[in-house]
Amino acid sequence: MLIGVVTFPGSLDDRDARRAVEACGGRTEALWHGRSDVGGVDAVILPGGFSHGDYLRCGAIAHRAPVMQAVADFAAAGGPVLGICNGFQVLCEAGLLPGALTRNANLRFVCRDVPLTVTATDTAWTGAFTAGQTIVIPAKHGEGRYVADEATLDLLEGEGRVVARYAAASNPNGSLRDIAGVTNAARNVVGLMPHPEHAVDPALIGGTDGRGFFDSVLRAASALA
């Protein structure tokens, strides 16, 4: 399986995302933000970082990059797309996911491992987990507070589109209803604020709980092959 990882000016976790995919057995291709296509990739990752310096607001400039129209078309055709941290913000700005990511409630940058409860396992990126499974992966963000109006939050809850929640009292940013990640109605687009790509190597303190996100999409591709 070939997974494209987009690089925007200011991206800093694009190489980490590529290494994570390759560690799980996939192949990767770098996708520059100025491209008007995503080539022949089987899935797309929008990585973390500070695209365009987070000017205006996080993801506000990046979502207008030429490649994002190609990503939107890819997603509309059922292609798996994962947005991590800044990538989640870009997906929300692009309208591919509902809601928005705003300043952390304590107005401080957060950088620590956080426990998550996986609540939806029927997406392209979470099929390797079991419902209710607790995992621990790093979070590092200043604008990670997920917000949406009550009707949207109720819709996400009712349709089982909350992918992961911050477990117990671990909510690091004040996200409404402890939401750490959501998916679209088709279950192929997922946004996640913590960083699974930093939790794939057993030699690192962060552990390997992040592998499930990449294993999920690789297994799904294998099943279709």
Q: Which helix (H) or strand (E) holds 195?
A: none
DSSP state of 49: B
Mark whether 58 is an active-site residue.
no
Residue 49 has pLDDT above 90, yes or no: yes
CB atoms within 10 A of CB 66: 13
pLDDT digits (tens, 9 = 90+) for 135-187: 999 999 999 999 999 999 999 999 999 999 999 889 999 999 999 999 999 99
Place of tokens 């940058």: 109
Q: What DSSP letter does each residue of 151-181 carry, written as one string? A: HHHHHHHHTT-EEEEE-TT--SS--GGGEEE
Q: Write out the E strands in the chain.
A: 2-7, 27-32, 43-46, 81-84, 100-102, 110-118, 134-141, 145-147, 162-166, 179-183, 189-192
Q: What is the pLDDT of residue 203?
A: 84
Catalytic residue among 33, 52, 63, 195: 195
List the structure tokens of 189.
């687009």
Mark whether 197 is an active-site residue.
yes
Catalytic residue among 85, 92, 93, 141: 85
Average pLDDT taken over every residue of the chain: 96
Q: What is the pLDDT of residue 223?
A: 67
Residue 107 has pLDDT above 70, yes or no: yes
Q: What is the pLDDT of residue 204?
A: 76
Short-list 1, 2, 59, 71, CA closest to 32: 71
Which band of pLDDT confidence, cut at 50, 70 and 90, is reported for residue 205?
Answer: low
Q: Which residue has the higher pLDDT, 3 or 56?
A: 3
Distance separating alpha carbons of residues 39 and 31, to the nearest angstrom: 9
Q: What is the pLDDT of residue 100?
A: 98
Which band of pLDDT confidence, cut at 50, 70 and 90, is reported for residue 224?
Answer: low
Mark whether 29 is an active-site residue.
no
Distance separating alpha carbons of residues 49 and 40, to the nearest angstrom: 25
Catalytic residue among 24, 143, 197, 198: 197
Which band of pLDDT confidence, cut at 50, 70 and 90, is reported for residue 102?
Answer: very high
Identify the CATH homologous superfamily for domain 2-224. Class I glutamine amidotransferase (GATase) domain (3.40.50.880)
Check: pTM over 0.85? Answer yes or no.
yes
CB atoms within 10 A of CB 142: 17
Distance separating alpha carbons of residues 20 and 26, to the nearest angstrom: 9
Q: What is the pLDDT of residue 225?
A: 56
Domain segments of the chain as ranges: 2-224
Residue 94 has pLDDT above 90, yes or no: yes
